[in-house]
Every structure is written in C-alpha cells, then in structure tokens.
Amino acid sequence: MDLKPLFEPQSMAVFGVSASNYRHPANEIFNKNLLRYPVRVYGINPRGGTINGQPIYRSIAEVPERIDLAVIAVRADFVPEVMTACIGAKVRSAAVISGGFTEVGRQDLQDRIVAIAKEASFPFVGPNCLGIYVPSLVDTFFLPGERMVKPAVGNVSFVSQSGGILVDQIIKFTGEGVGFAKAVSIGNKAMLGETDILDYLTADPATKVIAFYIEGFGEKEGREFVLKAGKCGKPVVVIKSGKSPEGGKAVSSHTASLAGDYDSFSAALSQHGIVEAANELELVSFCESLSKYAKPIEGRVGIVTVSGGHGAMAVDACTSRGIAIPPLPEDVREELRKYLSPSVQDIAALTNPIDLTGSGIDEDFVATARIFCSREDIDCVLALLLPYVPGVTSDLGAKLSSVARPCGMPLIAYVPNVEKYAMLIEGFELNGAPVSPSIEGAVLMVEALRRKRP
C-alpha cells in the first residue's frame, strides 16, 4: 500500500464538520488546516451548510477533486458507510478519528471497517486516534490550534498508540529544541500498525530517528516489529507501557492491546540494537542524541568542566550506567598542561574529568577536546558548561565542534536552558552537537549511543 497520501496529502476531506457546533472535533481539524496549512481541505456533512465561509459538501462525490486523505470524525456506527463512500470516490487514505470500536468491546464494528479497507487496499490509521501531524503541511489532531505547541521541522518521527502521550511528547520535545519530521497517532491500529509505519519511515528521507510509544502487540506482531526495527538502518527508540500486570490491564482498556511479556520484549530490543527509554526524560534525550549521531559507541567518556562538582555528578551518573571514565596517563596530562592558558595551568585538575576551574577559557576547552580526540580509549566528549564563567564565549560550541567533527567523535554538552544563554546553546546545536539542560540528560545522550550497540 502507498502511504505517501497519508503523510504528504495535497488534499483532505473532513467528515463530520458541523455548521452549528463550532467546537465539534471535525470543525477544529477543518479550521486549522484551512487557515494554517497548505493542504486543500473540504468539509463534508449530509446536512450541508457552510463552515468558516466555505461550503460543506453533502457527500464525498460532490468534492471537485480526488482526495488524498479523508479524516473521519463521525459516530462509530457511520464509519463503515463513510469508508465505503471514500473508496468509491477513489480517496487514497484515511485517518479514522472516531472512537467506539474494540476499546469499548465493538470488535465486530472494527472488523467490519478492516474488511472493507483490506478488500480495496485502502490504508487508514486508527480508529480511536488523533491521526497525522506533519509540521508545516497537515494536522489532523482535533485539538484547538491555539492550545497546541508547534514543534519546529526536524528529523525525529514519533509513532504512538496514545494520542495524549503523543501530544505530551511534542510539547516536551519542543521545549528541548528537538524538531519533528512526522507524528502519528495510530490508536487501535486496526489496519496500519507500528511495523507498517516503520516501513514507510525507514524509506522517508525526512526521518532520521524513529520513536515509538507502544502499549502492546497482536499475535506475532512484536517479533516482526523487532526484527524490522533492528535492520531498518535508522536509530529506533521505544518507550513501553503495560510493564506491570496492572499496567497491562490499563493498556487493554485503552486500545484493546495485549501488553505481552515485557521482560522478553525488552531483552529482544537490546539484542537487536533498539534503544529502549525507561521514561520521558530518557525518551527526549535519546532521540535528540541519536538525531545528531547515528554511530554507536562503546561508552568511554572524556569529561571537561569548569566546576569540580559538576564533574563529580557526571561521573556518578555515568558509572551508574556502566559508562567508563578512563583516566589520563601522567604523560598525557603533562602534554595537555602545556597547551592550557597560564591562568589555569597550575590549578586545573587533569585526570578525567578535567576541571579547568572557573578561570578556564574557550581555548582551554579546545585543547582538552584535542587531547580526548587523540585517545583510542575515549569515544565521546562530554562538555559541562557554566555560561556565567567569564572566559566562556558563545563561540565555544563552534570551536569544540571544529575539533570533534573531523575526528568523528560525538560531542555532547550540558548548558543550563535559560534564554540568556541561548547564543551559547545555539553555537552547539547549529554545529550538530546536542545540548541538555541537565547533567543527567547529557549523560543519557551518551547512554543512547552506547545502548544502540546490539
């Protein structure tokens, strides 16, 4: 099945719009796309009328062009009829927003729409979902536009069974400056599931990292997903719910999924180099790191800081995860000392972590990075920066990147996320180095690269 019309629609029909109920979910979808996105959008309701000055068509047959994407937001009992009409009008794909299927015990109704779609090779996501969000192109989420946080265009695509989790993560990712390529809410995944979307995103040039929120799989789905994700050639990050028996019951009542044997699933992810996030902080950190660096590392870190306390905290965070902090031999320490500025030569602690003290300047960081990059026993540089130190400038990110990039060593930075320090943060990000506002988050970025190793 061709999923391009689903993710890159040029035209869209919204079923269920109302001329009288302005806050109907279908109206929210119609108005957002009409006013904010380039997709050509048409409203459909048998009663007709107008919406935002546009005519409401009484049927899909009246629409003056062939539709790429149908957004179906009508009562569940009407969905089979609407889907049949879409297929008759040669609509190319659909997002079934409507709830009221297996999640409330209506297996018969869900089986019916699947049978209709399969017979016509008609791809749809849902039901019981939010659908598709592609920045600057299309948004089928029925949430008011003024209440949504709009992420920048980026290279992370996120697939979620839960619409609420998806929107929450869009907000959190945006707060960390991580952009999206595509966001997909699959709900009950009656027709298209994780593996189908994975196949599309694997070939999608706009997607560099693929993230999944997974509640459960049907029979044999989990194995197929793991095998494909391990071979897709792009970093895949998974966060799973339903790990406990109680969580499994909650999953079943949400999307009627089977949570399955979590321990076996987790072990399979690790075996195939699929990165599992235990929580939301890990999810954001892992995706940001892997969106910059796809090559896995052993996990041997060189740490440079201007604060001994920050260095000690980073060491604790690393060692608790099995990330090594190799000490520098005495001859290497003496070589580094020669390249440091006079104000820190005699006071810097040059073991690992390297503490340049509050007198450190940009050039001291650069000299340290060069030493780290020359070491075969170090495969990642972690820079812990305090922007209020006088000798640190907003050019430091570019300077450090110019050292780390040629030698192929990942560079990860910690910088407090305050507007005053935006220029310093941008200096790293514009040069492809991820930045975390917490030491823990920065270490998790290292962990993502290490965990990607099968």
In this prediction, residues 75-98 reach a mean pLDDT of 98
Q: Does residue 40 carry a pLDDT above 50?
A: yes
Rounded mean pLDDT of 12-23? 92
Instruction: Report which secondary-structure segment, H or E, holds 44.
Output: strand 40-44
Cβ neighbours for 259, distance < 8 A, ≥ 6 positions apart: 215, 216, 241, 242, 243, 247, 248, 251, 252
Residue 91 has, within 13 A of its CA and on its CB side, a CA count of 32
Identify the pLDDT of residue 41. 98
Predicted pLDDT of residue 218: 83
Q: How many CB atoms lie within 10 A of CB 160?
A: 26
The pLDDT of residue 248: 52
In DSSP terms, 382 is beta-bridged to: 303, 412
- Would you say residue 322 has pLDDT above 90? yes
Nearest to 67 by CA among 45, 40, 47: 40
* pLDDT top residue among 176 and 155: 155
What are the two backbone dihedrals, phi and then psi, of residue 310, each rounded to the nearest 5 degrees? -65, -40
Q: Report the half-sphere exposure of 377 (CA within 13 A, side-chain side).
A: 8
pLDDT value at residue 254: 46
pLDDT at 422: 86
pLDDT exceeds 60 at position 253:
no
Average pLDDT over the chain, rounded to whole?
Answer: 93
Task: Report the pLDDT value the prediction gives residue 245, as an integer from 0 to 100.
Answer: 61
**What pLDDT is recorded for position 148?**
83
Q: Token pair 């598709």 is at which residue?
A: 132
Model pLDDT for residues 273-305, shown as the tens digit of each residue: 999 999 999 999 999 999 999 889 999 999 999
DSSP one-letter code for 74: S
The pLDDT tens digits for 205-252 are 999 999 999 998 888 889 999 999 999 999 999 999 978 665 555 555
pLDDT, position 244: 61
Mean pLDDT of 26-50: 96
Of all residues in the chain, the percent with pLDDT exceeding 90 is 84
Mean pLDDT of 119-126: 97
pLDDT value, residue 260? 62
Q: Which residues are within 8 A (CB) of 213 and not within 5 positions of it... i.e. 6 or more apart?
A: 158, 159, 160, 161, 162, 165, 166, 169, 239, 240, 241
Q: Tell me the C-alpha distance between 15 and 155, whole Å.
A: 31
pLDDT in tens, 410-448: 999 999 887 778 888 899 988 999 999 999 999 999 999
What digits encode the pLDDT tens for the residues 324-345? 999 999 999 999 999 999 999 9
Q: Is the pLDDT reported for residue 256 higher than 90?
A: no
CB 262 within 8 A of CB 240: yes
272 has a pLDDT exceeding 90? yes
448 in helix, strand or coil?
helix
Query: Is the pLDDT confidence value at 194 over 90?
Result: yes
261-267 average pLDDT score: 90
Give the whole-angstrom CA distance, residue 412 versus residue 445: 7
- The pTM for the full model equals 0.91
Band (pLDDT 50/70/90 cuts) for residue 188 is very high
Backbone angles phi, psi at 165, to 5 degrees: -60, -40
Q: Where does residue 25 rank: exposed (0-12), middle (13-18), buried (19+ CB within 10 A)?
A: buried
pLDDT range class, residue 111, cuts 50, 70, 90: very high
DSSP codes joined into one string, 129-175:
S-EEEETTTEE---S-GGGS--PPEEEEEEEES-HHHHHHHHHHHHH
In this prediction, residues 136-145 reach a mean pLDDT of 92
pLDDT band at 150 (very low <50, low <70, confident <90, very high): confident
Average pLDDT over residues 55-73: 97
The label of the residue with tokens 């450090």 reads 400
- In 278-340 the beta strands, taken as DSSP E runs, fall at 301-305
Domains in the chain (CATH in brackets) are 1-124 (3.40.50.720), 149-292 (3.40.50.261), 294-451 (3.40.50.261)
